[in-house]
Amino acid sequence: MFRGRPVRFVVPVDTSGSVGSGSSDNLVKLEGTKARAWRNAEGRLCASPELLCHLGCETPRFNYPLYLGKKYRYFYAISSDVDLEQPGTLIKVDTYTKTQITWSESGAFPSEPIFVPRTDSEDEDDGVVLSAVLWADNPRAVAMVALDAKSFIELGRVLFEAPGPVPKCLHGWYASRY
């Protein structure tokens, strides 16, 4: 059930290819992708995706301010592979090279990673990735971790203890006091 992997489909603009089994007539002309599209014997357009990462990824995020609606190279996610030795893993995926970098800590469960670009950044991954973190052995311990978005090295964290148990949540926790 939790073996899903991030994939990318490419829908060709020119779909006038010949009808056939799809074994040789790939309608995808985009360079740098293994995604395929073809017309089957009935003339229907069919597609098969390319695999972007061998890890399950949930709540993917990318540099929305600069790349919303545009081709992007990197995205950040949390692992959906509950059977990993360390299921609480943050992942940076390079969609060009199909490689990934991970961050994890024993017993820690990070929330959805949020990419925050550096002011006036020019590189797509110039910024930080923020994630709230909980620990299995202390239900009141909470942290906000900041990772360098390029290297995925931890830059720092703020730790605090909540007044009561904090429920595990994929999307983080927010509270304000006035």
Question: Are 92 and 143 part of one and the same domain?
Answer: yes
Question: Are 62 and 37 part of one and the same domain?
Answer: no
Range of the domain at 21: 1-51
Is the Cβ–Cβ distance between 73 and 94 less than 8 Å? yes
Question: Cβ neighbours of residue 11 under 8 Å, at least 6 residues apart?
Answer: 37, 47
pLDDT tens for the chain, residues 1 to 178 = 556 789 999 988 877 766 665 556 789 988 888 999 988 888 888 999 999 998 888 889 999 988 999 989 999 999 887 777 777 899 999 999 999 999 999 989 999 999 999 998 889 999 999 999 998 899 899 999 999 999 999 999 999 998 888 877 666 555 555 5
Question: Are 102 and 42 part of one and the same domain?
Answer: no
Q: What is the pTM of this model?
A: 0.84
The response to whether 171 counts as a known ligand-binding position is yes
Task: Give the closest residue to 132 by CA, choosing from 163, 157, 154, 149.
Answer: 157
Beta bridge partners of 154: 147
Task: Give the closest residue to 27 by CA, choosing from 43, 3, 6, 7.
Answer: 43
Q: What angle do CA 139, 101, 60 make, to 5 degrees?
A: 65
